[in-house]
């Protein structure tokens, strides 16, 4: 009977060891036998144990130790985290604008801008597909784009040969060059300008709104028909029709050609018309369809006056009478001189009292001579072919001369003849060509019938 309490105490302990066999007791921990013996010696302990419910123990798995905090090793670790810096942007290519000065070439401009010679040659060769670099004039601008490298590479070149037309060349990834051109949409307008001559035909035209280059071209055309020294008088009038081009915003892009012009000369009227034939050639004709083109120009320079005619006279330098075998045209030094007709240059050199002189041989055994020049044009030399209107040199005062002028001679079959009378009868339009010419005259006259000076009207392109 006395074993019962012992069994009551020992049973849960044995169950505990059964559940947790891994528990070990240290030397100070009582063994199960000691616990049983103590229970037998003290019945009150057994009674408490007997009265207590059986205890079931559950041990939680041991949590892993928390890592020890470590002190920051650097000052940077004490500061808040900073966002990563954005990568630096690639440097942008640089753009420059080069302005053409007198005597400049495109190659020289690019070299002065630090462009490699090989790159410059390649870009210029590509540009030439759409534009001749030799056509650049003082004041023209060329835009270039260079890489931002320490040694810049030419990436792009752009030029605007005329308003509304842009030619561009740019480097390809493989190093080759590609050229393209852009032409802005434009509308053609027909413009009428008129005025009275007062102090010269050229200034009168420009005051009426005719572009300067167009006025000079028209004077050269009229030079086939008009002796400006004798025929043109103050109070004479003119009326001119010409092309003007505007973009979609109405801004002027440029001017085209003179379409027609009329001059009132001391009561008589002279009309000239620009006409393009069915074969594609363009020439000038009078009101009746007769060509203005002569075999020889009457005046081989613009805006000049006759200072001495053909015939006997007292020589201004030698002081005695002698035959003046040509015509003298007074003009400022540097005035361009034109070839009077198609031909081949015989010589271009200094020739005694003639000073610098060019001699040109023409068909039919005719030769023209141009003396007292200040200089020859580039490329003018013996055996070179020239066309009527080509600039062969400039007015000067070399040789036996008292002032700047052109001495002009015509020699036919070995004999000097009067240049002002050495002209041939012009050709005339006929048949279907003449009908087309007259139909266009009627159309233009009807269009501009109510058009005042400096007014313009939109026209379809030819």
Cα separation, 244 vs 191, in Å, equals 7
Rounded Cα distance between 405 and 223, Å, is 18
pLDDT at position 459 is 77
Please provide the average confidence, as pLDDT, over all residues in the chain: 78
The answer to whether residue 204 sits within a structural domain is yes
Contact 247, 253 (CB under 8 A): yes
Cα(98)–Cα(160) distance, integer angstroms: 12
The answer to the question of residue 114 being in a domain is: yes
Q: Do 178 and 213 belong together in one domain?
A: no
Angle at 134 between CA 222 and CA 114, to 5 degrees: 150
pLDDT single digits (tens) 152-184: 789 999 998 877 788 999 999 988 999 999 888
Q: Which CATH number fits the domain that encloses residue 362?
A: 2.70.70.10
d(CA 283, CA 292): 8
Which structural domain range is residue 12 located in?
Answer: 3-51
**Separation between Cα atoms, residue 326 and residue 307, nearest integer Å:** 11
Please name the residues in contact with 226: beta carbons below 8 A apart, sequence gap of 6 or more: 232, 263, 265, 270
Give the tens place of pLDDT for each residue, 200-219: 888 889 999 998 888 888 88
Residue 27: inside a domain, yes or no? yes
Predicted local confidence at residue 165, as pLDDT: 84
We report the CATH number of the domain holding residue 143 as 3.10.450.350
* 329 vs 302: CA distance, rounded Å: 10
Residue entry with tokens 């400022």: 332
Final residue belonging to a domain, choices 183, 217, 235: 183
The answer on 284 and 199 residing in a single domain is yes
Same domain, 139 and 214: no
Verify that 198 and 248 share a domain, yes or no.
Answer: yes
Q: Does residue 190 fall inside a structural domain?
A: yes
Question: Are 43 and 113 members of one domain?
Answer: no
Total of domains in the chain: 4
Cβ atoms 154, 168 nearer than 8 A: no
Same domain, 173 and 144: yes
Under-70 pLDDT residues of the chain: 1-91, 224, 227, 229, 294-295, 303-304, 310-322, 422-426, 460-462
Do 241 and 333 lie in a common domain?
no
Q: Are residues 275 and 365 in the same domain?
A: no
Collapsing DSSP states into helix, strand and coil, what is residue 124? helix
Residue 26 lies in a domain: yes
- Tell me the whole-structure pTM to 2 decimals: 0.48
Q: Which of 166, 183, 200 is the last residue of a domain?
A: 183
CA distance 54 to 25: 22
Residue 159 and residue 197 in one domain:
no
pLDDT at residue 57, as a whole number: 45
246 and 102 housed in the same domain = no
Q: CA 434: distance to chain centroid?
A: 41
């Amino acid at each position: 009977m006395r074993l019962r309490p012992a069994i009551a105490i020992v049973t849960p302990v044995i169950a505990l060891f059964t559940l947790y066999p891994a528990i070990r007791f240290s030397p100070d921990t009582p063994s199960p036998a000691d616990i049983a013996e103590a229970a037998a010696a003290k019945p009150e302990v057994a009674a408490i144990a007997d009265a207590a419910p059986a205890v079931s123990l559950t041990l939680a798995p041991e949590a892993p130790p928390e890592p020890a905090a470590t002190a920051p090793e650097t000052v940077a670790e004490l500061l808040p985290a900073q966002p990563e810096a954005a990568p630096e942007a690639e440097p942008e290519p640089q753009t420059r604008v080069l302005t053409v000065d007198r005597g400049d070439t495109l190659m020289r401009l690019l070299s002065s801008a630090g462009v490699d010679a090989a790159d410059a040659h390649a870009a210029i060769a590509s540009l030439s597909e759409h534009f001749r670099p030799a056509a650049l004039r003082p004041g023209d601008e060329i835009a270039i784009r260079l890489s931002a490298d320490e040694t810049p590479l030419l990436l792009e070149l752009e030029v605007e040969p005329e308003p509304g037309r842009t030619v561009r060349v740019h480097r390809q990834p493989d190093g080759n060059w590609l050229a393209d051109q852009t032409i802005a949409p434009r509308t053609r307008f027909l413009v009428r300008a008129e005025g009275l001559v007062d102090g010269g035909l050229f200034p009168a035209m420009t005051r009426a709104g005719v572009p300067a280059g167009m006025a000079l071209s028209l004077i050269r055309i009229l030079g086939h028909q008009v002796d400006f020294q004798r025929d043109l008088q103050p109070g004479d009038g003119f009326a001119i029709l010409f092309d003007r081009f505007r973009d979609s915003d109405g801004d002027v892009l440029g001017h085209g050609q003179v379409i027609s012009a009329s001059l009132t000369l001391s009561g008589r009227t002279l009309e000239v018309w620009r006409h393009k034939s069915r074969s594609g050639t363009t020439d000038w004709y009078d009101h009746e369809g007769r060509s203005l083109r002569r075999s020889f120009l009457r005046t081989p320079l613009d805006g000049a006056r006759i200072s001495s005619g053909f015939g006997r006279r007292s020589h201004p330098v030698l002081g005695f009478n002698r035959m003046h075998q040509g015509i003298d045209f007074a003009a400022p030094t540097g005035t361009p001189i034109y070839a009077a007709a198609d031909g081949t240059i015989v010589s271009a050199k200094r020739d005694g009292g003639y000073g610098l002189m060019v001699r040109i041989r023409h068909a039919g055994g005719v030769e023209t001579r141009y003396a007292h020049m200040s200089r020859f044009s580039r490329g003018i030399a013996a055996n070179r072919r020239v066309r009527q209107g080509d600039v062969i040199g400039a007015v000067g005062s070399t040789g036996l001369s008292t002032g700047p002028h052109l001495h002009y001679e015509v020699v036919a079959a070995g004999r000097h003849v009067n240049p002002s009378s050495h002209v041939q009868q012009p050709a005339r339009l006929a048949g279907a060509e003449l009908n087309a010419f007259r139909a266009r005259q009627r159309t233009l006259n009807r269009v501009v019938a109510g058009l005042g000076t400096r007014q313009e009207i939109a026209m379809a392109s030819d």
